[in-house]
Amino acid sequence: MTTLVSKYLDPNNICVINGGYEQSTALLDCHFDHICFTGSTSIGKIIASKAAETLTSTTLELGGKSPVVVLDDANFLVTARRILWAKVMNAGQTCIAPDYILVSEQSEPKLIEAMKQVMKEFFPPDNGNIQGNKLTTNKGEIIKLELNSGAQPESSDPDTLRIPLTLIRNVKIDDILMQEELFGPVLPILTYNNHHEDIVQCLYHINQ
């Protein structure tokens, strides 16, 4: 990107600066008309605080939990197709990918069966897997911790460096999977009994 931008675009209008924490911090000391940032909430807070010193406006696209709420009268096959299309794209590594599912206890088996059917229709066995040791290790640790707490994965292979789409059942709202954006093909499923109260309580707790 650095090579192509400098080759084809006017450097007075756009430039690419490579670096880490030191370079990013130094950039915040410059006075910009507007700051756009995509990344973690913790870094977003630092940028917002720094931008406030000069009253610089910001656009912050931060990591978060994107829920999918499935109701009992849903068309489960259509729902499964839409969820999986969004979740498996780029191995789940998109900012708007579904991060967890809320579904009633009675409808959970129907949804899981529909998702298994759609996976067979949509994707070959080697599609939608994470590439890269660090990210794979992180997700593997999350899956292992969830297994230790009693959560049940529908599919996973901890002995490889490739993670298929993994549905994890029996997840609680305070489990480690629910603490941060997953950014990978790991999809927790939470169940509810009372349609309104349980959903509102869950969303409120997770988004605190």
Residues 142-174 have pLDDT tens digits of 666 565 666 666 655 555 556 677 888 888 888
Residues 163-202 have pLDDT tens digits of 677 888 888 888 888 888 888 888 999 998 876 777 777 6
Ramachandran category for residue 183: left, alpha or beta (phi over 0 → left; psi -120 to 50 → alpha): left
In this predicted structure, what is the pLDDT of residue 206?
A: 63
Contact 58, 37 (CB under 8 A): yes
Tell me which amino acid residue 59 is: T
Whole-model pTM?
0.67
Residues 83-112 have pLDDT tens digits of 999 998 888 888 888 999 999 999 999 999
Contact 165, 154 (CB under 8 A): no
180 carries an active-site annotation: no
Closest CA to 184 of 123, 146, 140, 121: 140
The structure tokens 């298994």 sit at: 116
CA distance 193 to 10: 58
For residues 113-152, b (16+ Cβ closer than 10 Å) or e, as one string? ebbeebbeeeeeeeebbbeeeebbebbbebbeebeeeebe
Angle, alpha carbons 109-139-95 (nearest 5°): 80
Contact 165, 155 (CB under 8 A): yes
- Determine whether 14 is exposed, middle or buried from the number of CB atoms within 10 Å of its CB (0-12, 13-18, 19+): exposed
CATH superfamily membership of 67-206: Aldehyde Dehydrogenase; Chain A, domain 2 (3.40.309.10)
Domain boundaries, the chain: 2-62, 67-206
Task: Considering the candidates 61, 113, 141, 197, report the single residue annotated as catalytic.
Answer: 61
